Amino acid sequence: MIKNCPTFSLDHNRLLDALAATDRLLIIQDLDGVCMGLVRDPLTRAVERRYVQAARQLAGHFFVLTNGEHIGRRGVNGIVDNAFDTPAQAREQGLYLPGLAAGGVQLQDRYGRVTHPGVSEAELAFLQTIPGKAERFLGELLAAPPYALGASAIAPLVGASVLDNLASPTVNINSLYRHFSDQPALYRQLQHALEGFMAQLQQQASACQLQESFFVHYAPNLGSDPQCRERLKYSSGENAGTTDFQFMLKGAIKEVGVLVILNHYYHQHTGHYPLGEDFNARQAPRDQRALLQLAREHFDPAQMPRIVGVGDTITSTTSTLDGQTQQLRGGSDRGFLTLVQALGEAFATDNTVVYIDSSGGEVARPGLDAAHLQRRASDPNLAPWPAVEGISDPADPLRLDVVFTGGHAQYVPFFCTLAERYARRRQ
């Protein structure tokens, strides 16, 4: 966090000056909703050419960490290709976005070389069967009462919803949320049905002796229950709730990915892998405290960079469970941003958590009250909490140091300016 800077800061120039002057900088950034808008159909995503070029300027200091994937028909690499004149340009010039996808199990360098460290052939083979199963399940579900949709309506909805990712097959129901916008009860029933489908997939994996291989990730979610299973966030009508149902490999959680990225950062800058050359997300502990202890034991404090964690999916919702009112905090970016914050405190590296408001896209989710935060910028005594309802709360242990209320359209120019200044500084 920037010293003496309040949380939910709108002072982007101050952040820019601070990061441009940092000797050891590491940006770990989510993708969807951060550098490109959230859309109902992932096949329509687009990224600006200048953003991709800026990422290359920050080579060695920038890594992505996403639950999406680099490769495949719906991968980010294809989106990068579309930003340039010829498909070969990104590979030849090292313009692909380096880092971890599929929650942390799909590793890529700038030239599009992809590996899946720690993943078995049997696991990948099982994952490849899921898109077909999901298409059949969703098609049959929508054809039957109470949905009773015709074939001409079902085909495009299923096509937009089933994401045939290699390592993280997903059912994304943004298009279905829009289709049933005037029938919220049907949409919530659909969410419940997909929750059951994911449970069936887990049972099928167990029958294949892969019971310890997978978990279900809901995005956004309401945190995890005592059994470490993520809680589905049902739609409130105005808010879509959980839209991504992802069948993922165990270990593929973003906070573990932070240590994998740090391990590669150290190697690039010191020639040494503190956690070993073969360290991967599936070997790491999944508990935040254990991850922090692993970092303390292996990473040289003198070489620890200032980390900037950038994300857009964080939730905080008041719910009643077992008769008790609880504050449920979740979101697919919460874990890795919390670890970035903790590492900054442990290594005194002034780490910064940056939140991008992605509510202006095509996906309904809580957004920041920009006007309230502007008033707070002039009156520090004004409490921020009315401006962050559904995202954070007064007791939230995760601090959002700097926020971009204008979403990716505001963040991308900031990122490009930072890359230019940092590259010029290193010349």
CATH number of the structural domain spanning residue 313: 3.40.50
Dump strand ranges (E) for 250-362. Answer: 306-311, 315-321, 324-330, 352-356
Same domain for 241 and 265, yes or no, is no
Same domain for 265 and 405, yes or no, is yes
Please give the order of strands across the beta sheet that includes 25-29.
114-115, 106-108, 99-101, 62-65, 25-29, 306-311, 352-356, 402-404
Same domain for 405 and 264, yes or no, is yes
Predicted confidence pLDDT, tens digits, the chain (427 residues): 444 456 999 999 999 999 999 999 999 999 999 999 998 888 899 999 999 999 999 999 999 999 999 999 889 999 999 999 998 999 999 999 999 999 999 999 999 999 999 999 999 999 999 999 999 999 999 999 999 999 999 999 999 999 999 999 999 999 999 999 999 999 999 999 999 999 999 999 999 999 999 999 999 998 888 888 999 999 987 788 999 999 999 988 999 999 999 999 999 999 999 999 999 999 899 899 999 999 999 999 999 999 999 999 999 998 877 778 889 999 999 999 999 999 999 999 999 999 999 999 888 889 999 999 999 999 989 999 999 999 999 999 999 999 999 999 999 999 999 999 999 987 7
Residues 32, 68 contacting (CB under 8 angstroms): yes
Q: What is the CA radius of gyration of the chain?
A: 21
Residues 96, 77 contacting (CB under 8 angstroms): yes
State the residue range of the domain holding 132.
121-166+169-249
Which of the 8 DSSP states describes residue 36? Answer: B
Q: In this structure, is the dihedral angle defined by the CA atoms of residues 61, 65, 69 and 75, taken in order, positive or negative? A: negative
Q: Is 209 left (phi over 0), alpha (psi -120 to 50) or beta?
A: left
Of 228, 249, 270, at which residue does a domain stop? 249
Q: In this structure, is the dihedral angle defined by the CA atoms of residues 36, 180, 225 and 325, taken in order, positive or negative? A: positive
Please provide the DSSP assignment of 371-404 as one string.
Answer: HHHHHHHH-TTS-SGGGSTTT--TT-SS---EEE
Rounded CA separation 21/60 (Å): 16
Number of H helices, E strands in the chain: 14, 16
Give the Cβ contact number of residue 295 at 10 Å: 22
Residues 249, 103 contacting (CB under 8 angstroms): yes
Q: Which amino acid is at 386?
A: P
Same domain for 342 and 403, yes or no, is yes
Of 249, 267, 286, at which residue does a domain stop? 249
